[in-house]
Each structure stands twice: as C-alpha cells, then as structure tokens.
C-alpha cells in the first residue's frame, strides 16, 4: 500500500486504522536501526537536542526528586517504627529510590515534558510541510529529526535518572538526619547496603529503554500528525499517553527479567 493512499476497509475503518498504525509504528522503529549507523550522523544536532532535553528538565527533576525523597522517608517512618526498624530507613530509601522511584519518576517527567515537546514540534513541522521541505532539499528528515532526538533522549534520560536518584537520596538524608541525627557516611553506607551491581545495571538499562521509548513515541506521533493544529495537539497528547503506557509495561518486563537473572 502506498503511503498516502486510503485503502478500502478490510475489517472496519477503526480496526484497519489500528493495524495500519501498528504497522507504521513497527516500520518507524526498524527504520531507526537502519538509519542510526549510516552517515551523516548530525552530531551537533544530537548534542543540541541532548542539551535541550537534559538542561530544560533539570529543574523539574531536581524539585520532584528532592520532594519524593523527603515525602517517601516521612511516610515510611511510622510503619518502620511499628516494627522497631527505623534504622532500616536509609536502606529502604536506597532500594526504593535507586531501583524504582528514580528511574520511573524521571521517565514519567520526561514522557510528559520531552515526549510531548517532541510530538508537538515534529507534528507542527509535519502539518506546515517543513518535513516535506527537508525531504525535497535532499535532507533525510528521519535522520535529522528523529534519529537525533531518539539518541538524545536515550542518552539523557539515564543521566537525568541518576541525577534524580542522587537528589532523592539527598532529600531522604536531610529528613533522616533531622529526625534521627544520622551522619552522612552512615546514611550512604546503609543506603547502598541493599544495592547490588545488578540493581545498578538494571536501573541504567531501564532508563536507556525508557529514554528510547520517549524519543521514539514522541517522534512517531509527531511525524505522522495530520489534521492541522488539532493534529499537533493530538500528537503531543498521544505521545505522552502511549509513552507512559509503554514505560509501565517495560518496567514490569525489565523487573521480571532482572529477577530471573538474580535467581539464575
């Protein structure tokens, strides 16, 4: 079937549209791996996008990470007190923040902020024919717009996640220090006592997958935006919803796989 041709319905229009969407998504995904290793690499654009994604999300991630560290510590304390296990608080925070909260919170923030921004930007370029303009100027728009953004998110989200975990643990430390007068060294020792290298690798692997998903979904939705300005809003919105849905699915899968490795 040709790109812009409307086929007559095989099942029903909505079911057909769904399968066509899945096919396009799969094709879009495979095209990334075909394009990423070929010249030109647009390194400057990757750095620019990494800067845009990373730096502009930093303040929101700092605030959210810090607040989560404090709030999660505060809310966990009463339960641990009931069992006389307050001394486990740093360890619990280490496990919770490094293994789960840091990566997931970063991914959700980036899906909302970066995913929607990529969806809206590319969607706007699509409906105003800027992507077509690149194509007729012999510039590969997929490589310049999609590959660069996906690489940038894939590299930025893990760094942001590590930063979020650091800020979250800092928030937790302030709270633990204020309540139990625990020293920094003891806090760090306890926080990392329940963390293995496998946990850290898994955490980084997760964020690489999340970053790739956020970039890919945002770019896919934007690249295929239709219906003018309404389509741009729709692309941005769908980019966030689909990215979050996939991130939660991936979270479950990756945790299952890491547990399988742990028991192996």
Partner 1 sequence: MNKSQQAPIIDSEATVIRIEGLRKSFGTLDVLKGVDLTVLKGENVAVLGKSGSGKSVLIKIMVALLQPDAGTVIILDQNVHDLRGKALDALRLRVGFSFQSSALYDSMSIYQNLAFPLSINKPKMTRKEVDFTVEETLDAVGLKSKMLQMPADLSGGQRKRIGIARTLILKPEIMLYDEPTAGLDPVTCAEINALINQVQEQYKTSSVIITHDLTCAKSTCNRVAMLIEGTFLKIGTFDAVFQTEDAQIHDFYEYNFIQ
Residues engaged in binding partner 1 (CB under 8 A): 2-8, 40, 121, 124-125, 128-130, 132-133, 135-140, 144
The whole-angstrom separation of Cα 69 and Cα 53 is 23
User: In whole angstroms, how close is the CB of 236 to partner 1 at the nearest point?
Assistant: 16
Of 139 and 208, the one with the shorter C-beta distance to partner 1 is: 139
User: In whole angstroms, how close is the CB of 238 to partner 1 at the nearest point?
Assistant: 22
220 neighbors 235 (Cβ within 8 angstroms): no
User: In whole angstroms, how close is the CB of 102 to partner 1 at the nearest point?
Assistant: 32
200 neighbors 102 (Cβ within 8 angstroms): no
Of 138 and 252, the one with the shorter C-beta distance to partner 1 is: 138
The whole-angstrom separation of Cα 181 and Cα 221 is 50
User: In whole angstroms, how close is the CB of 202 to partner 1 at the nearest point?
Assistant: 37
Of 56 and 262, the one with the shorter C-beta distance to partner 1 is: 56
Of 4 and 12, the one with the shorter C-beta distance to partner 1 is: 4
- Output the CA torsion 249→254→255→258 (10° steps): 170
203 neighbors 251 (Cβ within 8 angstroms): no
User: In whole angstroms, how close is the CB of 40 to partner 1 at the nearest point?
Assistant: 7
Tokens of 234: 């729709």
Of 81 and 132, the one with the shorter C-beta distance to partner 1 is: 132
Phi-psi region of 136 (alpha: psi -120 to 50; beta: other; left: phi over 0): alpha
Alpha carbon 214 to its chain centroid, in Å, reads: 5
């Amino acid at each position: 079937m040709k790109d812009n041709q409307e086929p007559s319905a095989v099942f029903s229009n909505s079911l057909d549209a769904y399968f066509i969407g899945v096919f396009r998504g799969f094709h879009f995904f495979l095209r990334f791996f075909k394009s990423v290793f070929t010249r030109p690499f647009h390194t400057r654009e990757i750095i620019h996008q990494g800067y845009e994604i990373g730096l502009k999300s930093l303040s929101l991630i700092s605030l959210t990470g810090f607040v989560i560290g404090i709030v999660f510590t505060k809310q966990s304390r009463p339960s641990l007190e009931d069992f006389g296990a307050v001394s486990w608080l740093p360890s619990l925070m280490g496990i919770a923040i490094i293994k789960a909260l840091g990566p997931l919170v970063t991914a959700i923030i980036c899906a909302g902020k970066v995913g929607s921004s990529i969806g809206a930007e590319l969607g706007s370029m699509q409906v105003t024919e800027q992507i077509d303009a690149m194509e007729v100027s012999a510039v590969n728009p997929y490589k310049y717009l999609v590959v660069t953004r996906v690489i940038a998110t894939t590299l930025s989200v893990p760094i942001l996640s590590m930063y979020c975990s650091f800020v979250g643990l800092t928030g937790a430390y302030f709270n633990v220090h204020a309540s139990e007068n625990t020293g920094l060294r003891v806090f760090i020792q306890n926080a990392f006592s329940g963390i293995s290298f496998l946990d850290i690798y898994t955490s980084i692997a997760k964020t690489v997958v999340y970053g790739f998903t956020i970039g890919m979904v945002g770019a896919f939705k934007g690249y295929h935006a239709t219906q003018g300005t309404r389509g741009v809003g729709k692309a941005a919105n769908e980019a966030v919803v689909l990215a979050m849905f996939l991130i939660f699915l991936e979270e479950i899968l990756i945790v299952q796989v890491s547990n399988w490795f742990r028991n192996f």
